[in-house]
Amino acid sequence: MAREVSNKTKILNTAAAGTLGFFLFFPILWIVILSLKTEQDAIRAPLEVLFGSGWTFDSFGEVQERSDYFKHFSNSVFISVGSTVLGLLIAIPAAWSMAFVPAKHTKNVLMWMLSTKMLPPVGVLVPIYLIFRDAGLLDTRIGLTVVLMLINLPIIIWMLYTYFKEIPGEILEAARMDGATLRGEILYVLTPMAIPGMASTVLLNIILAWNEAFWTINLTAANAAPLTAFIASYSSPEGLFYAKLSAASVMAIAPILIMGWFSQKQLVRGLTFGAVK
């Protein structure tokens, strides 16, 4: 028998979940509100911000005038898509071999890869900065693409490994019995079955790369700066530009937020690492 849940409990649960959701969403909402105010209004007390002032799109115009939004936007797209494609090229064969032809130390290799994510990135900032300086990669989109690819590679390999593991071995054996070569097996059976998993891996990786701030801010100046560096440029020490900072943030997060919204279903599956179907 299913557990009985009274209507009262249901209403309370819904209210609690709604409140929690609102709290989590509130910072984003507040940024959107501030972006629609003048600088003078934006630094007033919260209630006055809400009810005691007018609304304006001026901040967006000023942000676009003072810096080239589309350059940063195209940098962000280049870096996040580029690092994802590059990462997949390495991760698919790596995950495939670990999932289907495991060796004695496969588990250790996987753990070792994940352990690199436990290190604070700032720990390798100096060596990477020096390598970039000497290789002429500072403030280039290629350099940033490579770094972000490396940063996210362990996660992509893990995700793909988990998805590949879910594909029953008997199906691949059936393909072998049916006369498929290794190429045929990968092309006609494995890949089509892995596509949902790969899609969510791609999505998650694009989001992670899009939002990555540490490396993008530290390794870029003017040319290759993506949207994260663009937001950071508005939190300058000479003064508080709440409205413009908010407007820049809204412009930076809007594309990825919209993409995330439309691909929620895939994302949830991706974030749970294939634990639920």
Q: Is 177 in the site for other proteins (CB under 8 A)?
A: yes
Q: Are 53 and 38 in contact (CB under 8 A)?
A: yes
> How many binding residues for other proteins (CB under 8 A)?
17
Interface with other proteins, residue 188, by CB under 8 A: yes
Q: Which is nearer to other proteins, 22 or 188 (CB)?
A: 188
Per CB under 8 A, the list member of 61, 178, 222, 258 interacting with other proteins is: 178
Closer CB to other proteins, 136 or 192, in the complex: 192
Scan for tokens 């004695």, then name that residue: 104
> Can residue 184 be called a binding residue for other proteins (CB under 8 A)?
yes
Radius of gyration of the chain, Cα coordinates, nearest whole angstrom: 23
**Largest alpha-carbon pair distance within the chain?**
74
Nearer CB in complex with other proteins: 77/167: 167
- Closest CB to other proteins among 71 and 176? 176
Contacting other proteins (CB under 8 A), which of 15, 20, 171, 268? Answer: 171
Query: Considering the rule CB under 8 A, would residue 176 count as an interface residue with other proteins?
Result: yes
The answer to whether residue 175 forms part of the interface with other proteins (CB under 8 A) is yes
Distance CA 217, CA 241 (A): 19
Q: Does 71 bind other proteins (CB under 8 A)?
A: no
Given candidates 180, 199, 240, 256, which one binds other proteins under the rule CB under 8 A?
180
Backbone angles phi, psi at 248, to 5 degrees: -65, -40
User: In sequence order, what DSSP letters do the residues of 35-84 get, joined into one string?
Assistant: HTS-HHHHTS-HHHHHHSS---SHHHHHHHHHS-HHHHHHHHHHHHHHHH
Q: Which of 48, 68, 166, 173 binds other proteins (CB under 8 A)?
A: 173
Cβ contact 141:72 at 8 Å: no
Other Cβ atoms less than 10 A from the Cβ of 43: the count is 15
Give contact residues for other proteins (rule: CB under 8 A). Answer: 168, 170-171, 173-181, 184, 188-189, 192-193
